[in-house]
């Protein structure tokens, strides 16, 4: 299975943010979407999540010669600023989510099993999420996306502002979720992209360009990428 973006474009007034974006993402891989702040990474994700209308182009799943449209349940979207209901405890939130999505959840587990997997501390599970740390809120947001089992997971700067321990935990969790889906991980940090991702695509001047990860061990090549990002248009 592949997730294909075909000739997608998006403008804000006269300013074109995405220009003929065209790329195929293979199942079972984490893709690093690398670009400077303001390059259009979040705009691209909002288009793919249908939160924003595109001006031209399309996106779909492809299996051999067969194509399928992307439905809402096919996509998980992890925002850079975690959005969870502050008035619920972590346990209440997971129970509510699992109840309303019961028909979609494959091989359901208990709430504590899910929280153990995500390394949610025992002493926070029955506290209101308004009192959670940024890292724990981020974990809860990612957990409900994992439980839903989407075919495509969009992660918008998910490791930003996390402490070192939580960031390392999240990296391991992401790597464990590759099978059977496509993960696209946006970041403006080259070292994180190299560490977490199987393949890297560069969003520069509104277009996607594949980067050979093997070349990233070459300091001259890293410098070339950094210079390209410096020259990128800000959207």
The DSSP result for 41-84, as a single string, is HHHHHHHHTTSS--SEEEEEEEETTEEEPPPGGGEEEE-SS---
What is the rounded average pLDDT of the residues 32-37? 84
Architecture of the domain made up of 2-85+149-231: 3-Layer(aba) Sandwich (3.40)
Give me the pLDDT at residue 235, please.
Answer: 40
CA 32 to chain centre: 9
**Is the pLDDT reported for residue 233 higher than 50?**
no
Q: Choose the weakest-confidence range: 54-63, 102-111, 121-130.
A: 102-111
pLDDT digits 0-9 by tens, 182-223? 999 888 777 777 888 899 898 888 899 888 766 666 666 666
pLDDT tens-place string over residues 72-124: 899 999 888 888 999 999 999 999 999 999 988 888 999 999 999 999 999 99
Strands 199-204, 207-211: pairing kind: antiparallel
**CA distance linking residue 202 with residue 74, whole number of Å:** 24
Partners of 6 in beta bridges: 58
Please report the pLDDT score of residue 217 as a whole number: 64
- Mean residue pLDDT of the chain comes to 87
Dist. CA 74–CA 131, nearest whole Å:
31
The pTM (predicted TM-score) of the whole model is 0.86
How many degrees, rounded to 5, is the angle at CA 88 between CA 87 and CA 92?
165
Check residue 228 and give its pLDDT: 59
Per-residue pLDDT of 154-181, as tens digits, reads: 998 877 667 788 888 888 888 888 988 9
Judged by DSSP in three states, 2 sits in: strand
- Looking at residue 33, its pLDDT comes to 92
């Amino acid at each position: 299975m592949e997730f294909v973006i075909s000739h997608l474009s998006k403008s804000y007034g006269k300013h074109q943010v995405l220009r003929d974006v065209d790329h195929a993402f293979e199942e079972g891989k984490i893709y690093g979407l690398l670009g400077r702040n303001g390059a259009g990474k979040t705009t691209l994700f909002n288009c793919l999540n249908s939160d924003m209308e595109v001006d031209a182009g399309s996106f779909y799943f492809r299996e051999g010669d067969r194509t399928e449209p992307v439905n809402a349940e096919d996509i998980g979207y992890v925002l850079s600023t975690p959005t969870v209901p502050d008035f619920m405890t972590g346990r209440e939130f997971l129970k509510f989510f699992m109840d309303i999505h019961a028909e979609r959840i494959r091989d359901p587990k208990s709430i504590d099993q899910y929280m153990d997997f995500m390394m949610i501390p025992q002493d926070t599970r029955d506290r209101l999420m308004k009192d959670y740390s940024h890292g724990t809120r981020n974990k809860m947001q990612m957990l409900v996306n994992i439980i839903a089992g989407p075919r495509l997971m969009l992660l918008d700067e998910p490791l930003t502002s996390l402490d070192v321990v939580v960031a390392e935990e999240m990296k391991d969790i992401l790597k464990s979720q590759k099978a059977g889906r496509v993960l696209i991980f946006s970041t403006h940090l080259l070292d994180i992209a190299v560490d977490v991702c199987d393949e890297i695509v560069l969003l520069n001047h509104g277009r996607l360009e594949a980067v050979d990860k093997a070349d990233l061990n070459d300091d001259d090549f890293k410098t070339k990428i950094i210079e390209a990002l410096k020259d990128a248009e800000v959207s």
